[in-house]
């Protein structure tokens, strides 16, 4: 649960920070940086003690890392194509989704009254993710920040690229299956793992009586797209790009 900075529960701060470190997979040398990253302006003694300055830096770091990843991943894309993908990956919606996947709403340090809201606004979740990126950068350097970001942005880049280039593998597989076999693909959920706030799903595509290589995804939509791509690759005599532990 979020911490009310004005409540007696503020004594629980060290435990909150430790739990957050376990969740994000990074231990801070300077705990004050983590505390600042988690502190909304409503819970700070003054604006300079909030996460607003860290958010400013984190936004720039996120943009730079995403741009470099896109530059290397898609050498044949023009500037306009790269810009479209970047805008999706660094959007407030994506940053809020990254925070939600980590369950960051549990660690926010908010002002009196903010903790009574039934749901943390997505804008706060977006801000705290960017602040966290900056805090990790300042504490552990460029490599630590990049390692943290890559855990979240790689899949988002792939999904954004699929959407922007029109490579909807489920649609392509459906067209192929109807044309060649007169049937529609089915998708089977084979397994799932992870905590409720960060589940992964294993899904396989089936065309007719044949089930193709299953694929893991961070959500069902992603897993189905990857499973469809696996099926298309196998139907073309190629190796499935998303092997699972089948």
Active site (catalytic) residues? 59, 130
* CA distance linking residue 112 with residue 135, whole number of Å: 24
**Contact at 8 Å (CB) between 215 and 157?**
no
The token duo for 231 is 């099926």
- Cβ proximity of 138 and 33 under 8 Å: yes
110: enclosing H helix or E strand: strand 109-110
Q: Taking the mean position of all CA atoms in its chain, how far away is CA 153?
A: 6
Tokens representing 177?
Answer: 């299956």
Question: Do the Cβ atoms of 2 and 110 come closer than 8 Å?
Answer: yes
> Which stretch of DSSP H or E encloses residue 89?
helix 79-89
Q: Is 215 helix (H, G, I), strand (E, B) or coil?
A: strand
């Amino acid at each position: 649960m979020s911490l009310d900075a004005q409540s007696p529960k503020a004594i629980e701060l060290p435990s909150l920070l430790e739990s957050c470190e376990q969740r994000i997979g990074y231990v801070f040398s300077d705990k004050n940086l983590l505390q600042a990253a988690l502190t909304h302006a409503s819970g700070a003694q003054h604006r300079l003690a909030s996460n607003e300055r860290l958010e400013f830096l984190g936004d720039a770091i996120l943009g730079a890392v995403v741009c470099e990843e896109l530059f290397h991943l898609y050498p044949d894309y023009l500037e306009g194509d790269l810009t479209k993908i970047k805008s999706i990956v660094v959007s407030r919606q994506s940053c809020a989704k990254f925070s939600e996947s980590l369950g960051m709403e549990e660690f926010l340090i908010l002002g009196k009254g903010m903790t009574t809201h039934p749901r943390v606004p997505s804008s706060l979740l977006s801000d705290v993710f960017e602040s966290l990126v900056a805090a990790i950068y300042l504490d552990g350097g460029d490599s630590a920040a990049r390692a943290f970001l890559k855990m979240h942005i790689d899949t988002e880049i792939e999904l954004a690229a699929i959407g922007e280039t029109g490579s909807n593998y489920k649609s392509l597989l459906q067209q192929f299956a109807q044309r060649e076999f007169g049937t529609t693909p089915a998708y089977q959920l084979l397994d799932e793992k992870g905590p409720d706030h960060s589940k992964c799903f294993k899904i396989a595509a089936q065309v007719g009586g044949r089930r193709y290589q299953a694929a893991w995804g961070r959500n069902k939509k992603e897993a189905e797209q990857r499973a469809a791509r696996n099926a298309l690759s196998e139907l073309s005599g190629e190796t499935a790009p998303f092997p699972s532990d089948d």
